Amino acid sequence: MRAIHRRRAMALQPFCQQPVISIAPSQTIQEACQMLRQHNIGCLVVADQGTLAGILTDRDIALRVTGEGKDPQRTTVQEVMTPNPVSIAMGQSLHDVTALMRAHRVRRVPIVDGAYKVLGIITLDDLIALFGEELSDLGKTVSESFLRKTVAADP
């Protein structure tokens, strides 16, 4: 369990290595859908002059555009996005972001600097993959330890 605890204390820097795909609030939902498809992602960070303004997910589009019969060519991102999304500062830990996701019931959290410039994004899928690797490593360690004890106990 120490490995998982150590990783939880790890900073969010590794999640800022990939470029963040962002869109302006004035762009259309059709443009947003094209970007989502092109990059094979489920959300876009909405940035206004480089500052976090909102987040737009494929679910937002399904419910607030398609579900309401709006025209994606005429509907802007600003009309559909979730404004002022939950975000986390770069200096926080994986434990902090996990607690934040649970408290606010969100699956994606932008990582920002002091001026709310988006540096990265961390998703629930990222955490599941990371903790899954840690649990797998822990399982291997326990298994190896068990095998060593079994071999040592044999006459």
The ranges assigned to domains in the chain are 2-153
Model confidence at 139: pLDDT above 70? no
Cα distance between residue 140 and residue 145, in whole Å: 8
Residue linked to tokens 């960070």 = 45
**134 vs 2, residue with greater confidence:** 134
In whole angstroms, give the CA distance from residue 91 to residue 70.
40
Q: pLDDT at residue 10 above 90?
A: no
Strands of 22-23's sheet in order across: 22-23, 43-48, 51-57, 82-83
56-62, long-range: CB < 8 A, 24+ apart: 56/23, 56/32, 56/80, 56/81, 56/82, 57/82, 57/108, 61/29, 61/32, 61/33
Most confident of 84-88, 121-125, 142-146, 148-152: 84-88
Percentage of residues in the chain having pLDDT higher than 70: 77
Q: Which residue has better confidence, 19 or 46?
A: 46
- Which positions ≥6 away from 87 have C-beta within 8 Å? 52, 109, 110, 111, 112, 116, 118
Q: How many CB atoms are closer than 10 A to CB 44?
A: 27
The amino acid occupying position 68 is: E
pLDDT band at 132 (very low <50, low <70, confident <90, very high): low
Q: Is residue 18's pLDDT more than 90? A: no
The reply to whether CATH 3.10.580.10 applies to domain 2-153 is yes
pTM score, two decimals? 0.75
Q: Are 57 and 48 in contact (CB under 8 A)?
A: no
Look at residue 7 in the predicted model and tell me its pLDDT: 45
**Per-residue pLDDT tens over the stretch 73-100:** 999 999 999 999 999 998 898 889 999 9
Choose among 100, 66, 98, 74: nearest CA to 85: 100
Helix/strand/coil for 49: coil
pLDDT above 90 covers a percentage of the chain that reads 61
Q: State residue 150's pLDDT score.
A: 55
What are the tens digits of pLDDT across the range 41-61? Answer: 999 999 999 899 999 999 999
